[in-house]
Amino acid sequence: MFKHLALALTLAVAPLSTFAADFVEGKHYTQISNKVVPSEPKVTEFFSFYCHNCYNMETKYLPEIKAGLDKQVKFDTKHVDFMNSDIGTEVMRSLAVIQEFENKDEMKMAMFNAIQGKDDGHHDHSAHDHSHNHEPQVNNRDDIKAVFSQFGIDSAKYDALADSEKTDKKLTLWRQQQIMYRVQSVPTFIVNDKYAINMNEMRTLDDLINVMNYLALKK
């Protein structure tokens, strides 16, 4: 159902150096649009709650990545629509709802755990034991609401946010950009809506962080 990264995401953490490494267009990254450099540089992760590599990225690497980004660079996440189904759309809506709250990271992990059938481990991101799996808990909107109820979000509040015009516009944009930026695997990182990073060429986490900063601040 899903096309995942060929890279197994066993990136090694190397000491941060400069952003000025010799990154080559066509090898380390691809220009996917002719957009001008935005006033607020950004890195966007396209991911799926159903993707095991996305779960590993979220739990093992994103904290280091976000900490290593230049202070000018904003980090954003968007959910892909590879399923083209009702439940796929409901899961996309759940991310849009999550983005309305401050405790986004906790809520994202709760959705990952529910969809992938993993114990929450009390949200200890550093010590997930993947042998403690259970059956996935998300098959419809009511199941999603049960996840959000853990955070004090009742059914009416969830419905209001999930069915809002703002959420509808977000999902339309995410689907359009998925096609426009040729997102065919997840996680995929797009920088400034202009460059796609070739994850197969990232040998260390340092490489990934540096190419993100290099492209985000590239004039």
119 vs 52, which has greater pLDDT? 52
Residue 13 has pLDDT above 70, yes or no: no
Alpha helices in the chain (DSSP H): 52-56, 62-68, 86-98, 104-116, 141-149, 155-162, 165-180, 205-216
SS3 assignment for 169-217? HHHHHHHHHHHHCCCCCECEEEECCCEEECHHHCCEHHHHHHHHHHHHC
- CATH architecture of the region 29-118+136-216: 3-Layer(aba) Sandwich (3.40)
Identify whether 38 is preceded by a cis peptide bond (ω within 30 of 0). Answer: no
pLDDT at 133: 56
What is the three-class DSSP state of 167?
helix
Residue 11 has pLDDT above 60, yes or no: no
Domain ranges of the chain: 29-118+136-216
At 39-89, the pLDDT tens digits run 899 999 999 999 999 999 999 999 999 999 999 999 999 999 999 999 999
Per-residue pLDDT band at 134 (split at 50, 70, 90): low
